[in-house]
Amino acid sequence: MSEMISESSAETAAQRRVRTTEIGAHVGRRITLQGWLHALRRLGGVSFLILRDGWGTAQVVVEDEASLTPLTAQGAAAESVIQVEGTVVAAPQAPGGLELRQPSITLITPVTEPPPVLIGKREIKAALPTLLDHAVVANRHPARRAVFRLAAGAMAAFREVLGEAGFTEIQSPKLVASATESGANVFAVNYFGRTAYLAQSPQFYKQVMVGVFERVFEVGPVFRAEPHDTIRHINEYVSLDAEFGFIENHFTVMALLRQVIAHILERLAHGYAAELEIAGAAMPAVPARIPHIHFADAQELIWQRHGVDVRGEPDLSPQDERRLGEWAQAEHGSDFLFVTGYPMVKRPFYTHPDPARPAYSNSFDLLFRGTELVTGGQRLHRYADYLDALARAGYPLEPFESYLEAFRYGMPPHGGFAIGLERLLMQLTGAPNVRLTTLFPRDLNRLTP
């Protein structure tokens, strides 16, 4: 009535087949590849077929026209799914120095019309709306894949460095009862007849979880209902969040952040060299000590270097950030710059003030090539301080009751930061639009694919 799954029946062609990135280990042997018909160039008597699989591409040399019959008989065009059995041969002129010869080709899934975006060309020629409208196919292009592989690598490196530092991964709820962090810019959800909201960040939960595990991180979606249509805004993105207790002040947080950024970049440099090259990434060096400048000094610097008086402004403009980035490069040879001590008026209520200058905060932004990449800082940790801060902000206590309970029952000095994954990829790869750094972006007008 029942049988066991035998080990052999579970071994399929997919498991016996060789990946395109591994054919170098099989020179002189016949192997099986499976993948997509990436390109086919027919040059008189000989054809060059490029097979793409989930990892890379391989060149197949077809000297016997009849070998192509399984494809031609059904009019199989680019992106058809195929299997190729062939002999691996070292060929200095081939891409990667290897190719398959004497192929036996099988058609697995035929495609008979050209795709909306050409995948087999070195460069993607399509315009942005086409790329986004047809992302389910366009994302197959090696240059697009490279970006998404880097995203995976960055997430893995983030978890790795924090795991080693004793951080515990959490998954906090995305459906929340109130638009607590700020009244605006949240998406409302019909939750069994009540109104719920989509979390703008895991901020409150990661702080609460410092009370549980001291050190926590989360990698997950956050939702911002900001009605901005710019190259730098999307409405759902991936946030790399960390929060930890028993810090001295925001400088403890900045020191950890330096380690995290350095580890991510190192992992990408070592494990994703091909992707970085395809994506056109210019890798920065992370200085052993990232330079930092206080907000007030930064404004003074802009005044002295550029004659532009932004002193007294409560925040830095994108142009201010670019100027500071140039200064960090010129003065310190650094792609990175910490700006510390942003005015309290511009920071959320849970921000810890600078004890010496209470109008300024123990918070920071990390600028990467003149653009804000990370925001972080020290948070309030005393219950009484929260009651004061909420009163000053004019917020009611009730929506914050559960959050406040954590502080009522003992919280250590703590802080953390949030890295926007897409922003990081955009800066790293020089992508002209942040929408190109996420699989299926969500913006003011786009909910599909």
By CB under 8 A, the residues from 33 to 52 that bind a second copy are 34-37
Residue 157's nearest CA partner among 212, 101, 219 is 219
CA atoms within 13 A on the CB side of 57: 25
Residue 389 binds a second copy, judged by CB under 8 A: no
Residue 395 binds a second copy, judged by CB under 8 A: no
CA distance linking residue 253 with residue 262, whole number of Å: 14
Residues numbered 251 to 280 that lie near a second copy (CB under 8 A) are 251-252, 254-255, 258
The token pair at 297 is 């000094």
Residues 6+ apart with CB under 8 A from 1: none
Residues numbered 122 to 141 that lie near a second copy (CB under 8 A) are 134-137, 139-140
- Least distance from C-beta 44 to a second copy, angstroms? 27
The stretch near a second copy (CB under 8 A) out of 67-75, 88-96, 204-212, 368-376 is 204-212
- Least distance from C-beta 12 to a second copy, angstroms? 4
The token pair at 132 is 């986004």
Residue 361 binds a second copy, judged by CB under 8 A: no
| Residue from 211, 341, 353, 420 binding a second copy (CB under 8 A) | 211
| Residue from 49, 50, 60, 238 binding a second copy (CB under 8 A) | 238
Give the residue with the Cβ less far from a second copy, 213 or 395.
213
- Looking at the chain, how many residues does it have? 449
Give the residue with the Cβ less far from a second copy, 282 or 397.
397
| Residue from 156, 269, 310, 387 binding a second copy (CB under 8 A) | 156
Residue 329 binds a second copy, judged by CB under 8 A: no
Residue 409 binds a second copy, judged by CB under 8 A: yes
Contact of 242 with 272, CB cutoff 8 Å: no
Residues 6+ apart with CB under 8 A from 5: none
CA distance linking residue 328 with residue 332, whole number of Å: 5
Alpha-carbon distance values, 418 to 115, 222, 415 (Å): 38, 11, 11
CA atoms 161, 166, 169, 172: torsion sign:
negative
Residue 111 binds a second copy, judged by CB under 8 A: yes
CA distance linking residue 264 with residue 257, whole number of Å: 11
Residue 449 binds a second copy, judged by CB under 8 A: yes
β pairing state of 371-379 and 175-176: unpaired
Residue 189 binds a second copy, judged by CB under 8 A: yes
Number of residues forming the site for a second copy (CB under 8 A): 129
Phi-psi region of 332 (alpha: psi -120 to 50; beta: other; left: phi over 0): alpha
CA distance linking residue 145 with residue 153, whole number of Å: 12
Residue 95 binds a second copy, judged by CB under 8 A: no
Residue type (1 letter), 342: Y
Residues 6+ apart with CB under 8 A from 177: 196, 197, 399
Residue 1 binds a second copy, judged by CB under 8 A: yes
Alpha-carbon distance values, 78 to 47, 381, 449 (Å): 14, 59, 22
| Residue from 145, 224, 369, 423 binding a second copy (CB under 8 A) | 145
Residue 80 binds a second copy, judged by CB under 8 A: yes
145-267-365-252 Cα dihedral, nearest 10 degrees: 150
CA distance linking residue 418 with residue 241, whole number of Å: 4
| Residue from 227, 280, 318, 333 binding a second copy (CB under 8 A) | 227
Tell me the three state secondary structure of residue 9: helix
Contact pattern for a second copy over residues 282 through 311, marking x by CB under 8 A: ------xxxxxxx--x--xx----------
Residue 387 binds a second copy, judged by CB under 8 A: no
Give the residue with the Cβ less far from a second copy, 337 or 344.
337
- Least distance from C-beta 438 to a second copy, angstroms? 8
Give the residue with the Cβ less far from a second copy, 248 or 315.
248
CA distance linking residue 301 with residue 9, whole number of Å: 70
| Residue from 68, 85, 101, 115 binding a second copy (CB under 8 A) | 115
- Least distance from C-beta 314 to a second copy, angstroms? 20
Residue 405 binds a second copy, judged by CB under 8 A: yes
Residue type (1 letter), 351: T
The stretch near a second copy (CB under 8 A) out of 278-286, 306-314, 347-355, 404-412 is 404-412
Residue 362 binds a second copy, judged by CB under 8 A: no
Give the residue with the Cβ less far from a second copy, 64 or 228.
228
Residue 213 binds a second copy, judged by CB under 8 A: yes
Residue type (1 letter), 300: E
| DSSP type of residue 20 | G
CA distance linking residue 196 with residue 23, whole number of Å: 52
| Residue from 381, 417, 426, 436 binding a second copy (CB under 8 A) | 381
| Residue from 28, 66, 92, 194 binding a second copy (CB under 8 A) | 194
- Least distance from C-beta 35 to a second copy, angstroms? 8
